[in-house]
Amino acid sequence: MIEEMRLRDLGVIADAALPMGPGFTAITGETGAGKTMVVTGLGLLMGQRADSGTVRSGAPQAVVEGIWNVPSEGPVADRVRDAGGDLEPAGAERGELYLSRTIAAEGRSRAAVGGRTAPAGVLVDLASMLVAVHGQTDQLRLTSRTAQRDALDRFGGDRVSDARAAYRTAFDAWTAIERDLGQLVADRDARADEAERLRAALAEIEAVAPESGEDALLAARAERLANAEQLRESALLAREALSSEEGAPDVSALLGDAGRALDRVADPALQQLGTQIADLGYRASDLAVELSSYLADLDEQGPQELASVEERRAALADLVRAHGSLDAAIALLETGSARLAELDDDGERIERLGARRDAARAELDSAAERLSAERRAAAERLGALVTEELHALAMPDATLVVEVLPGSETAHGHDEISFLLAPHPGAPPRPVAKGASGGELSRVMLAIEVVVAATDPVPTFIFDEVDAGIGGAAAIEVGRRLAKLAESSQVIAVTHLAQVAAFASNHLSVVKSSDGSITASSVTRLDGAAREAEMARLLSGLADSDAALSHARELLSLRAAG
């Protein structure tokens, strides 16, 4: 609930603190005094669009601050902490939440949540959990089918909530299968073309049977074969230099001569060198043998192998051009079979999805019927209870009928919800938008909130002249019902009727004053004689009229009497 709100330089209000607290708070004041600014300030704290026109003339900015008393754990606290803010401890399992909104005269605005700057969207999220606002536009919103469905579902409690959740799960499952099936059928021709292309590509890759890195090895082999004659000449010259088959002087013969020359000396140092020369001779002979082998292999390869290598390289190049790289072609060979099996399975997949869709459809229809049945049961109870409330709100002959009829299929069910009002016996029930005047619509809305709040309470209700268009006994009953609603929720009502204000446990008055050049408003909490005087002013326009004061005291005694 809202504990306190402060307004500075908002409209005609220069600086005002509004103590709220639990129960029913009535806000009154003369026309133009600034009662609307109280509702505007609350709207700003709930994230509504900031308007620089609300900044008091001559002031650089307007500031609205609010203190909420909220549970220290739960959705509200979680959202505050997500935004970087925090709660101030306020007793067992409770915390104080500080909200503020600043609007600069040039149009900029900023919000703070729990001591941290935050986007206005955070205020909107918090408002949905903390406050329900009702004004003239909200009465009109009550005439929409969506608002009527939401009110019925709130009243239905856990039974409707559970049925609605089950329906939404079934609806999402069915729509997902329907979407997949539709996409599969629509893409069938394209998938058949893809399968044909993939089958041809896999056949081509399988025919070539490439190996990773093979293209690089073949490039080196081709380079060698293309230069075979030059290689032959170089290898032959090297072998002849090491060991000549033509009898020419060579390394092996020269090393033999050197070794034999040292074998005849008795010097150990020269003998050691002779051993090393002998080793060089053996190594030269081995190299000559290897060169001979290389020459023999080169003779066997010849042009035919070069042609074969180039043919293989061309086949691999075709795969590289088609797939970007040889490794990509090899990867496709490894994964393509599974994709091809998937594509070739379209017929069976369509059949399987069709069976799953039919099963999901049956489950959805069952969930829809369960939701409709719960709504019909809740609608009967809601209509009866709201009708009782309307009788107490000076509409003794009125009947509210909550109609649940088959409608179009949506994510919210198959039901068309309508609130119908029969203003007197024998009159056909008509939609509340057509069957109720402005004052009657106010009472219908209030009756619905009183009844729904018993099963789904809202922390704070804010009513902006919900009593417009009514008076007399009807106004007294509106006040009585607001006081009843305040037993389970905090109620704040801007009113111009003494009959309504009389039932408030907390009465605030917006007072306008002027020094001749500057007009400003302040807010005063009323008790005792001051409250009686304000009630008299509301009744007659005269705060000191004896008759009005007597009537005011009589109205205040109604609240005391219960």
Residue 264 lies in a domain: yes
Predicted TM-score of the model (pTM): 0.62
Residue with tokens 């070739």: 344
Q: What is the mean pLDDT of residues 384-399?
A: 88
Among residues 297, 313, 344, the one where a domain terminates is 344
Residue 238 lies in a domain: yes
CATH number at residue 69: 3.40.50.300
The verdict on 24 and 131 lying in the same domain is yes
The verdict on 131 and 211 lying in the same domain is no
Provide the residue range defining the domain that includes 555: 527-562
Q: pLDDT digit string (tens) for 219-263? A: 877 776 666 667 677 777 887 787 777 767 788 778 887 888 787
The verdict on 228 and 121 lying in the same domain is no
For residue 380, the 8-state DSSP code is H
The answer on pLDDT for 163 being more than 90 is yes
Q: Give the rounded distance of the alpha carbon of 46 from its chain centre.
A: 20
Residue 511 lies in a domain: yes
The verdict on 478 and 560 lying in the same domain is no
For the ranges 79-88, 483-492, 508-517, 532-541, the lowest mean pLDDT is seen at 508-517
Rounded Cα distance, 458 and 488, in Å: 8
The verdict on 80 and 31 lying in the same domain is yes
**Residue 419: which of 28, 147, 50 has the closest Cα?**
147
Rounded Cα distance, 51 and 435, in Å: 36
**Residue 64: which of 13, 10, 106, 21 has the closest Cα?**
10
Contact 231, 383 (CB under 8 A): no
Residue 288 lies in a domain: yes
Residue 178 lies in a domain: no
Amino acid at 275: T
- Which strands form 413-422's sheet, in the order they lie side by side? 399-410, 413-422, 430-431
Residue 498 lies in a domain: yes
The verdict on 545 and 519 lying in the same domain is no
The verdict on 539 and 490 lying in the same domain is no
Among residues 317, 344, 371, the one where a domain terminates is 344
Q: Angle CA(132)–CA(136)–CA(141) in degrees, nearest 5?
A: 65
Res 370: pLDDT? 96
The verdict on 559 and 479 lying in the same domain is no
Res 266: pLDDT? 75
Residue 493 lies in a domain: yes
Among residues 320, 344, 368, the one where a domain terminates is 344
Q: Which pLDDT band, with edges at 50, 70 and 90, does 543 fall under?
A: confident
The verdict on 307 and 215 lying in the same domain is yes
The verdict on 532 and 475 lying in the same domain is no
The verdict on 201 and 333 lying in the same domain is yes
Q: Angle CA(42)–CA(45)–CA(48) in degrees, nearest 5?
A: 90
Tokens encoding 30: 């003369």
Amino acid at 207: A
C-alpha dist (Å) from residue 231 to 224, 298, 306: 8, 9, 15
Counted domains in the chain: 3
Tokens encoding 62: 């307007």
The answer on pLDDT for 516 being more than 60 is no
Rounded Cα distance, 381 and 120, in Å: 39
Angle at which helices 346-392 and 145-186 cross, to 10°:
180
Residue 8 lies in a domain: yes
The verdict on 93 and 216 lying in the same domain is no
Q: What is the mean pLDDT of residues 380-400?
A: 90
Q: Which pLDDT band, with edges at 50, 70 and 90, does 360 fall under?
A: very high
